Chains A and B, each alone.
Chain A
């Protein structure tokens, strides 16, 4: 064969070799597929550990375990809470994530905003939804601008316990 055929072919071969060399160094060698096969799970294996090692922010899981954990120091208030209506709400929903509390964060950032209460206690005209079981107010007419916790005790929300 003549050289004008060979020359471009060399270029192509050199290109392919260069690509393979680049790929050899660039692609991590833990790349592979799991039991889901090439189509669904071709990935870098070490990434699974990267996700697993992310720090968690919200602490102990499960309402009971959370109550148990929190009552080690805040026993009295947790007891009041668990016996009353708001006992179903995990502490961290209002008090904020508490993974390494009391070391870090030393003090939790408590959400006392009106908006937090309105998540559940806005009156919506949905009689077929579970929402109907929760007492609701009209946020536009019910003591506008005031924080709910000024009058209501979130740990003991029954109206007899009003401040």
Chain B
């Protein structure tokens, strides 16, 4: 071996040995993912567990300053009653703020329908809220850019920028938006964005004693809620509208829309 050759090889060996071990380990995608969480919030409703107590509605209204007595709400619970002669009734008196304390059906405009307990076939409760769609119709129609989808999947309304035209309220297929009686702008469920960013559950998830409402990060494959959405039989509301809703329902009946 020549002297020049020897020196060259020495340099190579030293350079090779000085590379830290960490530089040689392969990048673990899970680790990278955990450090840069790609959050995409999704909601899961287990309709089988809901008893219609309305604690979620109360908690939501208190948490988000929606007047309790105003007949608007960011979330609500619907009651479905099927009679044995196959008549179907749906109601949600005061958005179920005080639960369902009567068996008669609220037909609206002060009219009620008494139902004979013996004729009830099946009945169940379905909590509803904004679906935080992937392709939300409401944000498309906003003429001033006041409502939008955040990068983590929540649809919000800019209260300072909203002109109150009401296009979004009409565009939402789920009637999840309403006109806020105090701020006089469009208002809707925010998934309790302020709570999520503080690491808390949303007020309705927090208040539900039965675990009928849950929330998770659908981009995190380890998330228990994502596991349920991926592995169990879940449905979404009004899939045919193409809005790609991000609120998933377990035990969805055909009549629930």
Q: Could you tell me the distance in whole angstroms from the C-beta of A24 to the nearest C-beta in chain B?
A: 16
A90: Cβ under 8 A from any B Cβ? yes
| Chain B interface extent, by class | 35 or more
Known: A36-B149, A47-B158. 8 other contacts (CB 8 A): A43-B161, A44-B161, A52-B193, A53-B194, A55-B194, A92-B206, A124-B52, A126-B123
For B205, the closest partner residue in chain A by CB is A61
B148 within 8 A of A: yes
Contact B206 A58 (CB under 8 A): yes
Contacts A61-B201, A124-B123, A129-B123 given; does A56 touch B63 at CB 8 Å: yes
Do B101 and A139 touch (CB < 8 A)? yes
B55 contacts partner chain A, Cβ-Cβ < 8 Å = yes
Query: What's the tally of chain A residues with a CB closer than 8 Å to chain B?
Result: 47
Interface 1/0s, chain A 44-58, versus B by CB < 8 A?
100110111111111
Measured between alpha carbons, how far is A28 from B194 in the docked complex, in Å? 23
Give A31 to B158 CA distance when docked, in angstroms. 12
Contact B53 A119 (CB under 8 A): yes
B239 contacts chain A at the CB level, 8 A cutoff: no
Expressed in whole angstroms, the minimum distance between the Cβ of B58 and any Cβ of chain A is 8
Q: Which residues of B contact A (CB under 8 A)?
A: 48-55, 58-59, 62-63, 81, 98-103, 117-118, 120-125, 135-136, 139-140, 145-151, 156, 158-161, 190, 192-195, 197-201, 203, 205-207, 209-210
Q: Which residues of B contact A39 (CB under 8 A)?
A: 139-140
- Chain B residues whose C-beta falls within 8 Å of the C-beta of A55 in the assembled complex: 194
B50 neighbours in A (Cβ, 8 Å): 130
- Does A35 sit at the interface, judged by CB under 8 A? yes
Chosen A-B contacts, 16 in total, with CB atoms closer than 8 Å, are A31-B145, A39-B139, A43-B145, A44-B158, A47-B158, A48-B156, A50-B158, A53-B194, A58-B62, A61-B201, A124-B52, A124-B103, A127-B120, A128-B121, A129-B123, A139-B101
A117-138: contact bitstring with B at CB < 8 Å (1 yes, 0 no)? Answer: 0111010111111110010000
For the complex, what is the distance from the CA of A1 to the CA of B150, rounded to whole Å? 52
In the complex, what residue of chain A is closest to B53 when comparing beta carbons? Answer: A119
A residues touching B (Cβ–Cβ < 8 Å)?
Answer: 31, 33-36, 39-44, 47-48, 50-58, 60-62, 88-90, 92-93, 96-97, 115, 118-120, 122, 124-131, 134, 139
In the complex the two chains form, is A118's CB within 8 Å of B101's CB? yes
Most B CB within 10 A of own CB, among A44, A51, A62, A93: A51
For the complex, give the distance between the alpha carbons of A119 and B52 in Å. 7
Is B99 a contact partner of A58 (Cβ separation < 8 A)?
A: no
Q: Evaluate contact between A115 and B101: CB separation under 8 angstroms.
A: yes
Minimal Cβ-Cβ distance residue in B for A47: B158
A41 contacts B206, C-beta separation under 8 Å? no
Provide the bound-state CA to CA distance between A125 and B118, in Å: 8
Query: What B residues does A119 contact at CB under 8 A?
Result: 52-55, 98-101
Task: With CB as the reference atom, state the residue of chain A lying closest to B81.
Answer: A126
